[in-house]
Amino acid sequence: MTTTLKPVDVVIIGVGWAGSILAKELAQTGLKVVGLERGGNRRQEDFTLPGIHDQLKYDRRLELFENLSRTTLTFRNTTREVARPMRRHGPFPWGEGVGGAGLHWAGWTWRMTPWDFQIKSQTIARYGERMLPEDSTIQDWPITYDELEPYYDKFEYTLGISGKAGNLKGEIQPGGNPFEGKRAREYPNPPLKRSYGETLFANATRELGYHPFPMPAAQMSQPYKNPDGVTLGACVYCGYCMNTGCEVMAKAVPQTTTLPVALKTGNFEIRTHAAVTRINTSGNRAISVTYFDGQGRELEQPADLILLTAFTWSNTHLLLVSGIGKPYNPATGTGVVGKNYSWHNALPYIPLYYDEGHIFNPFMGAGALGTVIADFQGDNFDHTGLGFIGGNILAAIAMGHGPLTFQPTPPGTPSWGSEWKKALAHYYTRTIQIIGLHDHLSYRGNYMDLDPNYRDIYGNPLLRLTYDYGPNERRMSEYLVSVGDKIAKAMRPSKYAVYGLDAHFNAGASYGIIHQVGGAITGTTPANSVVNKYLQSWDVPNLFVIGASSFPQISSFNPTGTVGALAYFAADAIKNKYLKNPGPLVPS
Amino acid sequence: MDRRKFLTILGSTVAALGSAHLFSATPSYGRKLGTLKKAYTFFTQAESEFIEAAVARLIPADELGPGALEADVPYFIDQQLSGEYGAGARFYNQGPFGATTPYQGYQLALTPRQLYRAGIAATDQYCEETYGKRFAQLDPEKQDEVLKGLQGIAGDISLKDVPGTTFFNHLLSDTKDGFFSDPAYGGNKDMIGWKLVGFPGVPAMYMGLIGRNEPYHVEPVDLRSLQEAKAPVDEHGHVIHRRAAIPRPTTAPTSRPVDSSNSDDSRPEPSFAV
Ligand SMILES: Cc1cc2nc3c(=O)[nH]c(=O)nc-3n(C[C@H](O)[C@H](O)[C@H](O)COP(=O)(O)OP(=O)(O)OC[C@H]3O[C@@H](n4cnc5c(N)ncnc54)[C@H](O)[C@@H]3O)c2cc1C
Ligand code: SF4
C-alpha cells in the first residue's frame, strides 16, 4: 500500500552537486523543496581526524560509494553480447548519500571550451564532413560557451576555485591556459602551491613549446568566504581528498558550500534513505514521485515541479522505468532516452620512475593538485591528415597517494616477491604520474536501456550499458601516446611507460575516472534530445533533468564545472521564466 | 625541519645502499608457521597454514626487512573474510550467472569467503597430486612455482573448482592490502609496510613541505596511537611527525635483468580517481 504524502512545491531526486544547487536556488525564492536521497546523511562534522585518513575504508572498500547489493548496472561491449551485472565497482564507481559524489570528488573544476559546445559544426567547417566517423552521433549543444560563462563564474565563486585565468575578456594571460574561453574575471583564489613533480613537468613542457598552467582546483589555496557568506579553510596538502571528505573544510563540496545555505532558508528538507523508483505522470505532467524509505514503506510525494538530479545513471534509469520520453533504439537510430552515452578513460597514462636526486613524497598533495597542458585539447592543434578529431588535457598530478593504492614499480618488475618489494621500496617516493583525459565521441552503438534479465532490490530492471571505444578514440590513442612519449623523454626519468587505450573497455579494470555522460541529452528538438537547452523535458515540462546526463558527448574535461554551471543556468530559467509562466520554455 | 638535516639523511641513505649486500640474504625475521598470537575466526587450521605460507612468498622477509607473515597479514585476511567484505555484502550477487566475456568483470557465483575456501582446497589438492604434499609443506622454490602457475605467468596450473588466476589475484591484492592498511585492521603490524616504503601513516599538514625535492623521513603514526593520544597533534588533529631515528634503508633495484618468468607486464594499477 502506497501512502500519499502532502504535496510540496518542488521535489528533487538525488542530493549531490546538482540537487544541492537547485535546492539552494529554489528554497531561497520561498518555495518548499524536498530532497529525496537514497543514501544516508553525511555532515561535514562526520569527517574528522584521524578516522578519515583510512585508506582501506575509503579507497579500497569504497565506503562512500553506491552499495551494489541494492542496485548496479549491467554491461556489455556490443549489442551482440549478453550484458552481465557490474557485481563489483570497476573503473567508475558512483556516489551515494547526501552530497553525492560531490562529497568525495577530487575537485578538478573545469570549464569546457567554446569548441566543445560546437564540436560538430566546427569540425565540419574546418575539415569537412569526412572527419566524422560514420557511426558517430555527436551533436552541437543548443547552448554556447558565452551563454554559460556567467554560470561557470557563479559556480567557481561559490566553490572558491583556486586557479589562474588564461583568457581574461579576450586578453591572454601568462601562466594560465591560453586556449580557454574568455572569462569575465580571475579565479576567486590564486593557484595552489606546485609539487616538485609538477615543476619537472612544467619545465619540460615549456621547453617543448607548450603552455603549462595550474589545474583549477576546488581546494582553497587560502581561507575563503564565498558570495553566500560561507567560509572555507585553507588546504594543508594532507593528500586525502579523494574518496572521502576534508577535515579542515578546505575542499568545496555541497556540505561546505550549497547545502548549509539551502538548509538555512528553512524551506528545504532532506529525506535520506529515500530511493525513488518512479516518476508518476498524468498526460504531459509529472504529478508525483514514488519512493521507498528506510523502513521499507512505499511513499508517494506529489509536487508541482520535479527535478531529476540523480546522476547520469539514475537520471536515465528513472526516465526509462517511468516511461517518459521515447527510448533510444540503436538498430533504427530512433528514440532519444539512453542515447549518446560516453565516458573517458585516462589517455595516456604515464608513470615516470626516477633514481638519484628526485624525491616526490607522493603522500603530500591535494585532490586537484596538478599542472596541465591543453595544447593537445579539442581543436587547439591542426588535425589535418591525423584521421581523428579532438584530443586531451595532459596533467602531472600530486593528488596524494598512499601505498595501498599507489604501488609503482617499473615495467618488467615482478608483481610479488623480493624483487617487487625492493622496487616498490625504492620507487614509491620516486615516481610521478601524468594522465590525459580525452575527448570521446558519441556513437550509434553506445547507449543505455533497461536490462531484460536483472533487477534491483526494488524490483526495477537494472540499467543496461552497451559501450566500447570507437575508431576516433583508437586513432587518437596512437597519436596521444606519441605526444606522451615525447614529454616523458623530456622529463628525463630513469624509466617510464606510456599506456594508451586497451583493446576494449573493461568493466573489471581498476578504478580510475568517474565521468559518465549522456542518456538524457540536450538539443534543439525533441527528435535529437530529451531535454531542451534549459534541461527541461520536452515531453513533461514540469520535469527538469539536470546533470552530465545532458551532455551530447564528453569533452576532455572533468564534467562537474559544467554540471554546476548548467545547474545554475537551469535554476535561473526556472526562477525567471518557468515560475512566471509554467510550460515549455522552448517551443517544440 | 631544515634542509641541511635532510641532506645528511639522504647521504646516509646512500651509504646504506652501498652496504646492502652485507645483510644476510636468508630471512632472519620469519617466525614458525602457525604461531600467530591472535585467533583466526575464518580460516581452518589447514587453511591458515596455506595462507601463512603463501603470503610469506608473496611478500617475503628478506634483506629489506620483514614481510607479510611478520606483518600479520594472514590475520588481516582472516578478519576481512570474516566480515562484510568476505560475505560480499556490498557486491551484487543475484543471478542469473552464465557465459561472460573477458570484459565484464568478476562474474563468479562466489563470495570472497567461498572463493578462498575453494581456492585453497583446490590448490592443496593440486599440490598433493603433483608433489605428494600440501602447499605449506613444499619448499619455497616449489611454492613459488605453484604461485606462478596459478597467476598464469609460468606453468599455467588449472584448478578444479575455481579459476586459479582469479583466486591468485584476490590473494595477492588482499596480501598487499594487509601489508599497507592501517594496523587497526590487524595487518601491517608495527607499520612494517609503511616503514618499508617511507609512508608516514595517518597524514599530516604538509603546507610548508609540498613542492620540495627532499626526503621526508619520519616515524609513521597509525590510528591507534592517535586515538590513544600517544602522538602529538596540531589544533586540527593533524599528526606532528617525529623525525625517524634510523634512516630508511632503500636498495636500488638490481640493474641485471629481472627473472622474466615472474615478470608481469600488464598495465600497472594507476592511482587516481577524478
Ligand atoms: C572519487 C571521485 C572523484 C571525482 N573527481 C572529480 C573531479 O576532480 N572533477 C570533476 O569534475 N568531477 C569529479 N568527479 C565526478 C563528480 O563527482 C560528479 O560529476 C558530480 O558529483 C555529479 O553531480 P550530480 O549532482 O550530477 O551527481 P552526484 O553528485 O553523484 O549526486 C547524485 C545523488 O543522487 C542520488 N540518487 C541516485 N539515484 C537515486 C534515486 N533513485 N533516488 C534517490 N536518490 C538517488 C545518489 O545517491 C547521489 O547522492 C569525481 C567523482 C568521484 C566519485
Ligand atoms: S588535501 Fe587539502 S582539501 Fe584535500 S582533504 Fe587534505 S586539507 Fe582537505
Nearest-angstrom CA–CA distance, B120 and B102: 24
The per-residue pLDDT for A565 is 98
Q: Tens digits of per-residue pLDDT, B47-81?
A: 999 999 999 999 999 999 999 999 999 999 999 99
DSSP string, B66-113: --TTTTTHHHHHHHHHHSHHHHTTTS---S------TTS----S--HH
Residues of B in contact with A401 (CB under 8 A): 271
Contact B236 A423 (CB under 8 A): no
Give per-residue burial for A225-259: e unless 16+ CB within 10 Å, then b.
ebeeebebbbbbbbbbbbbbbbbbbbbbbbbbbbb
Q: Closest approach of chain A CAs to the CA of B50, in angstroms?
A: 17
Is A515 catalytic? The answer is yes
Nearest-angstrom CA–CA distance, B149 and A534: 58
- Identity of residue A120: K
Report the run of H or E that residue A313 belongs to, with start and end.
Answer: helix A311-321
Nearest-angstrom CA–CA distance, B147 and B167: 10
Instruction: Say whether residue A461 is in contact with chain B using an 8 A CB cutoff.
Output: no
Ligand nearest to the CA of A91: 1
Q: What average pLDDT score do residues B158-179 get?
A: 94
Contact A506 B180 (CB under 8 A): no
- Among A354, A358, A381, residue whose Cα is nearest residue A479: A381
Q: Tens digits of per-residue pLDDT, B95-122?
A: 999 999 999 999 999 999 999 999 999 9
Q: Do the bridges between strand A543-545 and strand A516-517 make them parallel or antiparallel, or are there none, so unpaired?
A: unpaired
Say how many Å lie between the CA of residue A191 and the centre of ligand 2.
14
In chain B, how many H helices and how many E strands?
9, 0
DSSP designation for B136: G
Q: What average pLDDT score do residues B204-232 get?
A: 93
Say how many Å lie between the CA of residue A16 and the centre of ligand 1.
6
The per-residue pLDDT for B153 is 87
Residue with cell 535561473: A572
* Neighbour tally for A572: CB within 10 Å: 16
Q: Tens digits of per-residue pLDDT, B128-148?
A: 999 999 999 999 999 999 999
Ligand nearest to the CA of A275: 1
- Among A535, A548, A520, residue whose Cα is nearest residue A574: A535
The per-residue pLDDT for B203 is 81
- Among A194, A99, A441, A570, residue whose Cα is nearest residue B211: A194
Residues of B in contact with A513 (CB under 8 A): 272-274
- Among A110, A128, A144, A209, residue whose Cα is nearest residue A389: A128
Dihedrals phi, psi of B66, to nearest 5 degrees: -65, 160
Which cell numbers in the block locate residue A85? 551485472
Q: Tens digits of per-residue pLDDT, B14-29?
A: 233 333 333 333 433 4
Nearest-angstrom CA–CA distance, A339 and A452: 18
Q: Determine if ligand 2 sits within 6 Å of the CB of residue A398.
A: no
Binned average pLDDT, 10 residues per bin, chain A of 588 residues: 96 98 98 98 92 95 96 98 97 97 97 98 97 96 98 98 98 98 98 98 98 98 98 96 94 98 98 98 98 97 98 98 98 98 95 95 97 98 97 97 96 96 97 97 98 97 98 97 98 96 94 94 98 98 98 98 98 98 96
Nearest-angstrom CA–CA distance, B188 and B82: 18
Bigger pLDDT: B242 or A308? A308
Choosing from A12, A17, A65, A448 the residue with most ligand 1 atoms within 8 A of its CB, the one to mutate for a pocket test is A17
pTM for the whole structure? 0.94
Q: Are A308 and A319 in contact (CB under 8 A)?
A: yes
The per-residue pLDDT for A487 is 98
Q: Determine if ligand 1 sits within 6 Å of the CB of residue A96.
A: yes
Bigger pLDDT: A177 or B271? A177
The per-residue pLDDT for A288 is 98
- Among A76, A523, A54, residue whose Cα is nearest residue A242: A54
Residues of B in contact with A50 (CB under 8 A): 202, 223, 226-227, 237, 239
Residue B13 has pLDDT above 50, yes or no: no
Q: Are A138 and A470 in contact (CB under 8 A)?
A: no
Among A residues 279-298, those touching chain B with beta carbons less than 8 Å apart: none
Say how many Å lie between the CA of residue A560 and the centre of ligand 1.
9
Which cell numbers in the block locate residue A287? 504529478
Give the confidence band of B4 by pLDDT, cuts at 50, 70, 90: very low
The per-residue pLDDT for B107 is 97
* Cα dihedral A147, A153, A158, A161 sign: positive
Nearest-angstrom CA–CA distance, A131 and A120: 10
Contact B101 A76 (CB under 8 A): yes
- Identity of residue A291: Y
* Neighbour tally for A445: CB within 10 Å: 18
Nearest-angstrom CA–CA distance, A268 and A498: 49
Residues of A in contact with B104 (CB under 8 A): 75-76, 83-84, 86, 507-508
Q: Give every CB contact of residue A574 below 8 A, 6+ residues apart in sequence.
A: A22, A25, A26, A305, A534, A544
Of all residues in chain B, the one with the smallest CA distance to A512 is B273
